[in-house]
Amino acid sequence: MPALQALQQRLFGWRDDGLAPVRLDRRRIFILPSRSGLLFALTLVVMLLAAINYNLALGHALVFLLAGLGLVGMVHSFRNLYGLRIAPGHCRPVFAGDTAEFTLLIENDRPASRHGLVFQAEPGRSTTTAVGAREQIRVGIPVSAPQRGWLPLPRVVLSTRYPLGLFTAWSYLQPGMRCLVYPAPLFEPLPAGVPNADGSGSAGGQEDFAGFRQRQASDSLRHVAWKASARDDASRPLLVKQFAGGSDSRLELAWSATDPALDDETRLSIMTGWVLAATAEQQSFSLRLPDRLIADSSGSAHGERCLEALALFRP
């Protein structure tokens, strides 16, 4: 048993936690003939048999020349990956149903360029790039995000067939990265404001008329200025009154304001739409979930904090 553990450590000791940069050495790189390489080898065998059968000196020379080129191609395929330094980057949050893009930092400290580098984390989704001599680039790895929550980066396969396509050299990468996936938004009108618990605000503030603006999809129909809209061109959007001054109510995006008959994911999607709409209109709002309350605030940072709470909510 200790001998088996020692063998596993010797074979797979290069594995790490995925947080630190890694450099591809000979223990991390694998290489095998591609389909084209197997066909090429079969062709050489047939040519060699024909040269032996007909005693063709030039045929022997041609076979050995092509075999030498194949071996040179194998060495260059291996060296195209050898010594690359790969570090985990970051991933911007996305909404469920979108595609997350994990960023990796690729550094080439050799005086030769690296060509035909293919990164793949999911079947059918790959990114092909090249790294110049002594250059560092960023590579985006696309991964589908079907549901909300934390999305870990799957194992990434880095492969190359450069320069002749006769051999495939590859390495497995497992950076310790994850992406936050928000619920897919459903846009519905914002809920009505709730009275201030401390009675703050001025009830008369709503009488300070400040003008009109075009109605957004999140605006309730009860806020539409019907008379002003009737005087305007019928083809233009409806108008909504804007007021200045204080208010005796505040906007609270509460779990209880959604329809209890809906499933939990749909209710979260509706609340996500509310957060996006309120943030876009620069409104101050609070978010109330069954297990958490985020106090009134405004701005993009507050919106992101609320979206994160919705993404990680467990009913």
Is residue 194 a contact partner of residue 252, using CB atoms and an 8 Å limit?
Answer: yes
pTM: 0.76
Please indicate, yes or no, whether residues 34 and 147 belong to a single structural domain of this protein. Answer: yes
Closest CA to 35 of 216, 166, 143: 166
Does residue 161 belong to any structural domain of this protein? yes
The range of the structural domain enclosing residue 242 comes to 202-247
Domain assignment present for residue 3? The answer is no
Q: What is the pLDDT of residues 138-161, one digit of tens each?
A: 999 999 999 999 999 999 999 999
Q: Are residues 231 and 138 in the same domain?
A: no
* Domain harbouring 143, CATH code: 2.60.40.3770
Q: Do 110 and 211 fall within a single domain?
A: no
| Nearest-angstrom CA–CA distance, 182 and 184 | 6
292, 295, 297, 303 alpha-carbon torsion, rounded to 10°? 0
Supply the DSSP symbol for 17: -
Average pLDDT over residues 253-259: 93
Same domain, 101 and 20: yes
Q: In this structure, are 292 and 309 located in the same domain?
A: yes
33 and 154 housed in the same domain: yes
72-121 pLDDT tens trace: 999 999 999 999 999 999 999 999 999 999 999 999 999 999 999 999 99
**What sign for the dihedral angle of Cα 14, 17, 32, 8?**
positive
DSSP 224: B
Beta strands in 1-113, from DSSP E residues, in sequence order: 22-23, 30-33, 85-88, 94-95, 99-108
Do 151 and 61 share a domain, yes or no?
A: yes
